[in-house]
């Protein structure tokens, strides 16, 4: 399925349990930087939530997966806009009773910020290993292993999945992750204990700051939950059931 945000096609998969109910709670699931909606941990999560009676919408955001836009030109700002467009779409459907957001890594940062902007339309947020350090690192000039003068950002960076515009960094410098704490609804942080990209301590500290937040650490798991994706999905499902 496809919707458009400012002319950019956003491709997504919508799965609704065939259980005879007229309405279902919906979880919008967002991937991370260089990711896409077909990543194993996100598919595992979607299947588990479907078993528990939740509809899921897994979307590819700007410059990723099957959606439009070039990877080079994507920014967290554009992703937040994409997520708000997905919220607009979901709230316009009669099939959904509640709306939850879930994001992994950079997607975790983006859904938390989007929830703060759409706090009257978001019933809860799940942040999977959220990359909350991106804005601060962009301001320091040390991001993704790249070292640069934060006051003279290069026009382009060489990145693992191809060139990345300097505008990615410039816009990230204007973001303050703590602004997401304006969202006072329920939040669940799930993090792998052995995360090699975003230390688990990031979620530990965030859970202490967010009002009513809960934290689940998956022992021995990585940033992509490629060792215990089932445990992360189970934790998310149990938490969501408590919100109904």
Rounded to whole angstroms, what are the CA distances from 191 to 206, 221, 233, 237?
A: 11, 8, 12, 15
Distance CA 66, CA 60 (A): 6
First CA to last CA distance, the chain: 27
DSSP string over 98-157: EEEEEEETHHHHHHHHHHHHTTTS---EEEES--TTHHHHHHHTEETTEE--TTS--SEE
CATH architecture of 2-243: 3-Layer(aba) Sandwich (3.40)
Q: Tell whether the model's pLDDT for residue 159 goes beyond 90.
A: no
pLDDT at 211: 86
In this prediction, what percent of the chain has a pLDDT beyond 90? 97
In the three-class reduction of DSSP (H, G, I as helix; E, B as strand; rest coil), residue 180 is classed as helix
Main-chain dihedrals φ then ψ at residue 73, nearest 5 degrees: -100, 5
Confidence category of residue 113, pLDDT binned at 50, 70, 90: very high
Q: Contact at 8 Å (CB) between 221 and 192?
A: yes
Write down the pTM of the prediction.
0.97
Q: Tell whether the model's pLDDT for residue 65 goes beyond 90.
A: yes
Tokens of 121: 């339309």
């Amino acid at each position: 399925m496809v919707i458009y945000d400012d002319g950019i096609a956003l491709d997504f998969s919508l799965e609704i349990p065939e259980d005879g109910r007229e309405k279902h709670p919906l979880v919008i699931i967002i991937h991370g930087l260089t990711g896409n909606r077909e990543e194993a941990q996100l598919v595992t999560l979607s299947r588990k939530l479907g078993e528990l009676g939740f509809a899921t919408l897994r979307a590819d955001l700007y410059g990723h997966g099957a959606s439009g836009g070039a990877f080079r030109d994507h920014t967290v700002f554009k992703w937040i806009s994409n997520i708000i467009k997905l919220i607009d779409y979901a709230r316009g459907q009669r099939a959904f009773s509640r709306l939850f957001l879930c994001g992994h890594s950079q997607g975790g940062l983006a859904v938390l910020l989007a929830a703060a902007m759409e706090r009257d339309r978001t019933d809860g947020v799940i942040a999977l290993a959220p990359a909350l350090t991106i804005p601060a690192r962009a301001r320091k000039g040390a991001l993704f292993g790249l070292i640069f003068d934060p006051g003279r950002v290069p026009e382009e960076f060489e990145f693992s999945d191809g060139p990345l515009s300097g505008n990615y960094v410039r816009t990230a410098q204007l973001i303050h992750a703590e602004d997401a704490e304006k969202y006072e609804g329920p939040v669940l942080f799930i993090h792998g204990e052995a995360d090699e990209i975003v230390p688990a301590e990031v979620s530990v500290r965030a859970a202490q700051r967010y009002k009513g937040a809960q934290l689940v650490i998956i022992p021995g798991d990585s940033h992509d939950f490629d060792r215990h994706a089932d445990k992360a999905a189970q934790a998310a499902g149990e938490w969501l059931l408590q919100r109904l």
